Amino acid sequence: MCGARLERRFGKKFALTHMDILLNFQHAELDRESNKLEESFRDHFKKRKGQSTDKFTHSSIVRALTSVSREKLRTLLTYPPHRLREMCRLQSMVVTHNPVYVAGRYNKYSRELSQSPWFIDGERKGLDTSVSELLSQLLLEYTQAKSQNFTSSGREDIDVQMLGSGRPFTIQLLEPERVLSPDVLSDIERKINQMDPLLVRVSDLTLISREEADKLKDLEAEKRKTYTAVCVSDGDLSQGELDILCEHRDMVIDQLTPIRVLHRRALATRQRTVHWMKAKLQCNSSRIFDLEIETQGGTYIKEFVHSDFGRTVPNLCTLLSNRQIDIISLDVLSVHVEWPPAPDNS
C-alpha cells in the first residue's frame, strides 16, 4: 500500500531492497493517549536491553489492547476517537542495511590461538587475537558494520590445529554501510591469507542469505569429523595390538560431561559414534603411535583416548587391554559438511 503511494509521489519504481528505513513521527494528541496506555500496561511497554526502536511498537500496542476489556478501554481512550486537530511531524529518519552474511572455511595452524576471545578471571588466554577476530577484521573495516557475529560448525580447542579443507563458518555483519561484491570478497580473502599465514587461512568466502546461514547449525547432527592424534602408552605395544582397533566400526560410546568443561556444560551422558579408527606405531618407538579416527560430531576425542577417569566408556585404554593411554597432540583433518552452499545460478 505504501509502496504504490511512494511510486506516485516520487515517480520512481518501488521495489523491496536490503535497506530498512525507520521514520519516527511525533503527534501531541497521540502521545497523550500513548502515555495513558503505558501507565495502565507498563509490562507491555518495557524497553528491552539493546532495543533501538521505540517501545510503542505495533505488536506491543496490540498486546496491551487485547488484554483489556472493552469497558476498561473506554475509560482510558476517547471512544469513538475524536477528529485530530494537529498534523503529525517527522521527528527523525534512520536508514540501515539489513545484516550481511559471509560464509567460508578456515584453517588454524597455531596451538595458542583460540577460536574466539578467551578470558578467565579477566585475563586473556593464548595469543592477543583469535580466529573470529582475524577473519572479521577486514570485513568490518570495509563494510563499516556496527558489529559482527561469528558462528562455526563446532569448535576446536585452543591447542588443536584445524587442517584439511577447514572448518565451515559464517560471519553476520550488522548494519553495514558498504555492500560486498564477489570481487571485493576475493580481495579480502587474499589479504586475510597474507596477514599471518602461520596462524590462519581462509577459503571459499561467499555471500549467503540468512536462511542459508541458519542451516549451518542444522548440519551439526549430520556431520562427521576426522582427526589425527599422537598418543602414548604406559607400556610397550606391538603393531598387532594396534591393528585390533580397525575392527571397531560404528561403535557407540557413552561420554559423561568431561571434567574440563563441567564449568560451562550441563552434567549428562551423551552417546556418540566412533565410525572407524586406525593406529600405527611411530618409527623407533614401541609406545608412541599415530591415531586416525572418524567420529560423529560432538565427540570428545581427548576423553575417548585417556578415558577421563573412566567417564568415557568404552575408551582407547579399555580397547588396548586396559593400558594407560594419553594424548600428546590432536588435529582436525576434516569436517565433513558441504559448505559454503553452492550459489543459486537459476
Catalytic residue numbers read 157
3-state secondary structure of 104: strand
Dist CA 186 CA 191 (whole Å): 9
For residue 234, give the DSSP letter: S
Dist CA 8 CA 14 (whole Å): 10
Collect all residues with Cβ–Cβ distance below 8 Å to 189 and sequence separation of at least 6. 104, 202, 203, 205
Cβ atoms of 323 and 306 within 8 Å: the answer is: no
Collect all residues with Cβ–Cβ distance below 8 Å to 90 and sequence separation of at least 6. 23, 24, 25
What is the separation of C-alpha 88 from the centre of its chain, rounded to a whole number of angstroms? 43
Residue entry with cell 517501545: 55
3-state secondary structure of 66: helix
Give the number of C-alpha atoms closer than 13 A to the C-alpha of residue 338, restricted to the C-beta side. 4
Cβ atoms of 239 and 281 within 8 Å: the answer is: yes
User: In this structure, how many other beta carbons lie within 10 angstroms of the beta carbon of residue 137?
Assistant: 16
Cβ atoms of 166 and 106 within 8 Å: the answer is: yes
Distances (CA, A) of 155 to 107, 116, 204: 12, 9, 19
